[in-house]
Amino acid sequence: MSRPFPTGAFRRRIRTVVETPDVVAGGLEDDFHYFQVRVHHDGERVLDVDAQSRRWPWSTCPSAAEPLRSLAGMPLSLRCMAVGDWSDPRLNCTHMFDLAGLAVAHAARGGPPGTVRQYDVEIPAGAQAGGLTDVSVVRDGALRLRWTLDGRACVAPPPYSTVPWRGGFLRWADEHLAPDDAEAAIVLRRACDIGMGRGMDLDAIPRALDALGAQGAVCHTMQPGFVEVALRNRGTIRDWDPDPDQLLAEGP
């Protein structure tokens, strides 16, 4: 069986929008996922979070909307990682949870209805497989970060090249960088790992249980009680290389 899209680049777009003074909508779309969230708040705390799955890899992914509701009550924070102080990331869908964190931070920044923040990430196929490769993230139309990877390590520029690539990068960014700088670094770092799936025949893995050895119980679908019944949602991988602006074409 031929591998899907073995060349080009994995692309991810994340957009958060102030819909009303008390609601922020968020969308995340890439080769493998399309999720939307809405964070309802009172200007100080999250009141509720609802989520919609538009395209997802495993049959159990949509049910991750329920644990996301545990964010109700958390204080608004400029730190996109603050959601992890309030709810266990491993019990949530990684992508919904990250998107909710970005939406909470957007609510904390405030602004009138229509205020938008958008990230566009590009990870060339084969990044982290060996050899020098540049990865990048654009925020609101301007290049925010470009890193050079050599296999599974960032080799330029500092300070990112001085931090362990695994086992603490996100925590380091959250603790040592200003919230806006940390947010861009976290978005890019997360996409680097997700982008490793480009060119892989993921539809050849019929059950999440078959992937558990490589991943462990890292997210909602991989938790006991879900992983045993989670089936591959085949035919959902997309190639955005020909027209990246079609990402999030259906909103928000």
User: pLDDT tens across 211-227, in order?
Assistant: 865 567 899 999 999 99
**For the whole model, what pTM was predicted?**
0.96
Residues 69 and 96 sit within 8 Å (Cβ to Cβ): no
Residues 114 and 122 sit within 8 Å (Cβ to Cβ): no
Separation of alpha carbons 76 and 90, rounded Å = 21
- Over 60: is that where the pLDDT of 2 sits? no
Separation of alpha carbons 121 and 95, rounded Å = 14
pLDDT of residue 180: 98
Give 1's pLDDT tier (boundaries 50, 70, 90): very low
User: pLDDT tens across 28-79, in order?
Assistant: 999 999 999 999 999 999 999 999 999 999 999 999 999 999 999 999 999 9
pLDDT of residue 3: 67
Residues with Cβ < 8 Å from 89, sequence gap 6 or more?
Answer: 83, 97, 219
Residue 101 phi, psi (nearest 5): -60, -40
Residues with Cβ < 8 Å from 158, sequence gap 6 or more?
Answer: none
Domain ranges of the chain: 9-200
Cross-strand pairs, 124 = 9
Q: β-strands 34-41, 154-156: how paired?
A: unpaired
User: pLDDT tens across 104-130, in order?
Assistant: 999 999 999 999 999 999 999 999 988
Could you give the percent of the chain with pLDDT greater than 70? 97
